[in-house]
């Protein structure tokens, strides 16, 4: 049995990209959490936020908006909208249409307008987008790759076009999920951050030109605005989580009470034990499973580690949940992806196998990955 190194405090393994351990075996995500708990003056951070937004409140946008909030059908963007309204901003919400939206996700998108916020919903060219979905699934093992591009480019494009310089994003993923310590303290989301931490997986939007006849013009919504346009408008994208202690579970309680946000009432999301994350996308279970086959951990580990850091679970309790929920074959998401892409189950499984780590998962003498009757992979490792 392969012995992976795990964080002494949480359950992140050494296989996680951009994760670093200190001399005591504590991962960078837990180090950042310790800094959040004991070393950051959150009162001073809030004052800094108020100072920033007061500057933009005084600016007269031609269309009357103080900032842009990138939104989806999820809890974090609803909380961003709630906080913008709480601090007296008049935001414009901007949503990039996800790949295969759920009914619950659409309801939560529509709910944002009921909070007293105008919303632009960018409806994409589905012919071009589907080609990118299938190509990125085969090329980098992530069918959500074009979505991850669009959610970062469309809000900035709208900000430039409408002359709205302030964009309020959610949490800094490097702070919440682990990354270089200097990156956990970055207050802004800009082109540099996107290229390094935006989940591009070494792929660039330029690489999609020519795929199934895709032209550069058809990819216009996926190109980040030029530095010239960014500087002309004075675009500033800030992480709300840099100025307020980010605890998604506590924030959920607030938006459930204050905004009409809806969660999944009939059980957890596929691939994890929570019923309030990733509510808007039918294919997210496949995205999370691809992470599991590459690195040996999935969405349940992400959630369990956050719950450990926020003192809602002990490490042993979290370990039980990870063993129970992580790495299960995502039958619902696979079925949805078959409907969306037109690919067969055998074609999809072959692509998944091409990204499955042969060190982490057992194979037979012919190099085929071993599976249990429920199609779950046989592991060469154990969570410890």
Q: Write the pLDDT tens digit of every residue in 228-256.
A: 999 999 999 999 999 999 999 999 999 99
pLDDT at 236: 94
pLDDT in tens, 58-83: 766 677 899 999 999 899 999 999 99
Predicted pLDDT of residue 181: 60
For the ranges 39-43, 196-200, 217-221, which has the lowest average pLDDT?
196-200
Q: Over the stretch 320-343, which tens digit does the pLDDT of each residue have?
A: 999 999 999 999 999 999 999 999
pLDDT of 195 over the 90 cut: no
Backbone angles phi, psi at 351, to 5 degrees: -70, -45
Let me know if domain 42-242 sits in CATH 3.40.50: yes
Q: Which residues of 144-173 are buried (b: 16+ CB within 10 A; e: fewer)?
A: bbbbbbbbbbbbbbbbbebbbbbbbbbbbb
Share of the chain above pLDDT 70, in %: 94
The 3-state DSSP class for residue 93 equals strand
Domain ranges of the chain: 1-17+273-384, 42-242
The 236-239 sheet, strands edge to edge: 118-122, 91-96, 67-71, 166-169, 236-239
Ranges 1-5, 289-293, 365-369: which has the least confidence: 1-5
User: Which DSSP string corresponds to 110-129?
Assistant: HHHHHTT-EEEEE---HHHH
pLDDT of residue 190: 75
Alpha helices in the chain (DSSP H): 28-38, 42-58, 75-86, 103-114, 126-140, 145-162, 173-177, 181-184, 191-197, 227-233, 248-258, 284-295, 299-309, 315-325, 331-341, 345-355
pLDDT value, residue 271: 96
> Which tokens is 118 given?
């105008």
Adjacent-strand bridge partners of 68: 92, 167
Query: Does 53 score more than 70 pLDDT?
Result: yes
pLDDT (tens digit per residue) in 5-37: 999 999 999 999 989 999 999 999 999 999 999
Confidence band (pLDDT; 50, 70, 90) for 57? confident
Report yes or no on whether pTM surpasses 0.85.
Answer: yes
Rounded to whole angstroms, how far apart are CA atoms 257 and 260?
A: 7
- How does strand 91-96 pair with strand 67-71? parallel
Position 186 confidence tier, pLDDT thresholds 50, 70, 90 = low
Identify the band that residue 175 occupies on the pLDDT scale cut at 50, 70 and 90: confident
Mean pLDDT score, 291-306: 97
CA dist., res. 231 & res. 361, Å (int): 48
The alpha-carbon radius of gyration of the chain (Å, integer) is 21
Q: Say which residues have a Cβ less than 8 Å from residue 198's Cβ, sequence separation at least 6.
A: 148, 149, 152
Look at residues 345, 322, 324, 325 and name the one whose alpha carbon lies nearest to residue 333: 345
- What band does 297 get if pLDDT is binned at 50, 70 and 90? very high
- Among the residue ranges 59-63, 95-99, 222-226, 259-263, the one predicted with the least confidence is 59-63
Position 142 pLDDT exceeds 90: yes
CA distance 32 to 175: 6
Residue in this structure with the two tokens 């690489």, named with its chain if needed: 207
Predicted confidence band at 145 (pLDDT cuts at 50, 70, 90)? very high
* Residue 196 pLDDT > 70: no
């Amino acid at each position: 049995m392969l012995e992976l190194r795990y964080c002494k405090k949480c359950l992140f393994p050494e296989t996680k990209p951009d994760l670093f351990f200190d001399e005591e075996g504590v991962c960078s995500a837990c180090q950042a959490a310790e800094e959040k708990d004991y070393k950051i003056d959150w009162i001073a951070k809030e004052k800094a936020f108020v100072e920033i937004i007061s500057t933009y409140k005084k600016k007269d946008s031609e269309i009357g908006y103080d900032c842009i909030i990138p939104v989806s059908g999820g809890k974090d963007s609803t909380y961003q909208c709630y906080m913008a309204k709480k601090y007296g901003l008049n935001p414009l919400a901007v949503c990039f249409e996800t790949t295969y939206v759920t009914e619950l996700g659409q309801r939560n998108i529509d709910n944002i307008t009921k909070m007293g916020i105008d919303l632009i919903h960018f409806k994409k060219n589905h012919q071009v987008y589907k080609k990118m979905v299938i190509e990125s699934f085969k090329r980098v093992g992530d069918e959500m790759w074009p979505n991850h591009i669009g959610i970062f480019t469309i809000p900035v494009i709208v900000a430039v076009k409408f002359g709205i310089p302030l964009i309020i994003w959610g949490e800094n993923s490097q702070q919440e999920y682990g990354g270089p310590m200097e990156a956990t303290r970055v207050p802004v989301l800009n082109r540099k951050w996107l290229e390094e931490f935006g989940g591009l997986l070494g792929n660039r939007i330029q690489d999609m030109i020519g795929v199934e006849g895709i032209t550069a013009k058809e990819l216009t919504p996926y190109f980040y605005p030029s530095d010239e346009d960014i500087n002309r408008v004075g675009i500033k994208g800030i992480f709300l989580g840099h100025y307020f202690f980010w605890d998604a579970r506590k924030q959920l309680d607030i938006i459930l009470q204050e905004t009409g946000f809806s969660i999944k009432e009939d059980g957890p999301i596929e691939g994890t034990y929570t019923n309030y994350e990733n509510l808007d996308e039918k294919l997210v279970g496949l995205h999370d499973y691809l992470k599991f086959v590459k690195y040996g951990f999935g969405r349940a580990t992400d959630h369990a580690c956050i719950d450990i850091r926020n003192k809602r679970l002990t490490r042993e309790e979290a370990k039980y949940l990870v063993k129970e929920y992580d790495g299960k074959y995502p039958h619902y998401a696979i079925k949805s992806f078959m409907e969306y892409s037109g690919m067969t189950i055998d074609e999809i499984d072959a692509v998944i196998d091409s990204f499955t780590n042969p060190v982490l998962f057992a194979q037979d003498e012919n190099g085929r990955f071993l599976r249990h009757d429920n199609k779950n992979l046989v592991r060469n490792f154990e969570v410890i």
